[in-house]
Amino acid sequence: MKSLMVLFLLLPQAISAMPVLSVNQVAPGIYVHWGVQEFSDTKNHGAIANIGFIVGYRCVAVIDTGGNPEQGKALKNAIENTTSKPICYVINTHVHPDHIYGNSAFKETGAKYVGHEKLARTMSVRGDYYLQKAPELLGITLTAKDIIPPDITVNGELDLDLGGRILKLTAHPTAHTDNDLSVYDPQTDTLWLSDLLFIEHLPSIDGSLKGWLTELDKLGGKSYKIVIPGHGSLVKDWPKSLQPEKEYLNTLLTEVRTAIKKGVFLEDAVKTIGLQFKGRWKLFDEFHRKNVTKAYAELEWED
């Protein structure tokens, strides 16, 4: 009896010690944890992206799970502190570690994992590398159980019913990556665009420069009350807030094409192209040279 009493007294302390992620309600039923504008490293353990969840009358959809399993657990705790409704879907917007490494925290909920039709293949191709590099780059240890492919894949468009709330998912052609997924909530006119949109944080190309610009042209032709980027602050002036990203990417397109036509080698191109944007974007030094390299490889053989 005494041991039970001690356990009872300690239980509130144990519960309060459980990590809970800070979230903000940006529209009715839509909650976001705002990431930090940092490069993923062993100090932040990859917990840098905007992640969150949407609550329906019947259940909850998680949108990205964070940069490590502990952040995933903290997000799960935040959901449980916010609503008693069960988690029915875990939506991964693309393959990058800061968006998927918290997946395992939701495995026991029975939720279905949702992603682009190409997500599982990309997870499989990169999985061993991700597991090998996680201790060195992020200071965390992962197993294959932490990289969970989708149960439900999206090819084109798919509706998810949360009970009185239909989320419209779109699988985009190759852009930021080859597995980008966006989530639209008609109820609040909110578009969760994830890494198709960067605010303040320099855009990072891991797919196709031309493809990304094509998708941004399509998205910029529509109106949304609220747009949630993968990195950076909430957008309420769409499509105005899209313009800095488009300007940067269009400049890369123009300057890399010019360099190639002039016969400028890649090692020289990365020293000169797009330098006017330094100081206008956070993490410029961490991502710009890679962007130029990626664009050069794509445009070198175009017709």
Residues 15, 297: Cα–Cα separation, whole Å: 52
Say if residue 3's pLDDT is above 90.
Answer: no
User: Do 220 and 239 form a contact (C-beta atoms < 8 A)?
Assistant: yes
Residues 47, 206: Cα–Cα separation, whole Å: 19
Contacts of 97 (CB under 8 A, 6+ apart): 40, 46, 67, 130, 134, 138
- Name residue 51's beta-bridge partners: 33
Q: For residue 290, give Cα distances in angstroms to 89, 146, 210.
A: 34, 27, 16
Say if residue 302's pLDDT is above 90.
Answer: no
Minimum mean pLDDT among 6-15, 69-78, 110-119: which range? Answer: 6-15
In whole angstroms, what separates CA 29 from the centre of its chain? 19
Work out the pLDDT band at 18, boundaries 50, 70, 90.
low
- Name residue 231's beta-bridge partners: 198
Structure tokens at 116: 């682009």
Say if residue 10's pLDDT is above 90.
Answer: no
pLDDT at 112 (0 to 100): 98
Say if residue 12's pLDDT is above 60.
Answer: no
What confidence tens digit (pLDDT) does each residue in 86-109 have?
999 999 999 999 999 999 999 999
User: Do 191 and 227 form a contact (C-beta atoms < 8 A)?
Assistant: yes
Q: What is the mean pLDDT of the chain?
A: 94
What confidence tens digit (pLDDT) does each residue in 247-290 have?
999 999 999 999 999 999 999 999 999 999 999 999 999 999 99
Helix ranges, 151-205 (H): none
pLDDT at 13 (0 to 100): 41
Q: What is the mean pLDDT of residues 61-81?
A: 98
Work out the pLDDT band at 6, boundaries 50, 70, 90.
very low
Q: What is the mean pLDDT of residues 59-66?
A: 98
Work out the pLDDT band at 19, boundaries 50, 70, 90.
confident
What confidence tens digit (pLDDT) does each residue in 192-236 have?
999 999 999 999 999 999 999 999 999 999 999 999 999 999 999
What confidence tens digit (pLDDT) does each residue in 33-44 have?
999 999 999 999
pTM of the model: 0.93
Cis, bond preceding 28 (omega within 30 deg of 0): no
Work out the pLDDT band at 5, boundaries 50, 70, 90.
very low
Strands (E), the chain: 24-27, 30-33, 51-55, 60-63, 87-91, 112-116, 152-154, 157-161, 166-171, 181-185, 190-198, 226-231
pLDDT at 1 (0 to 100): 42
User: Do 246 and 216 form a contact (C-beta atoms < 8 A)?
Assistant: yes
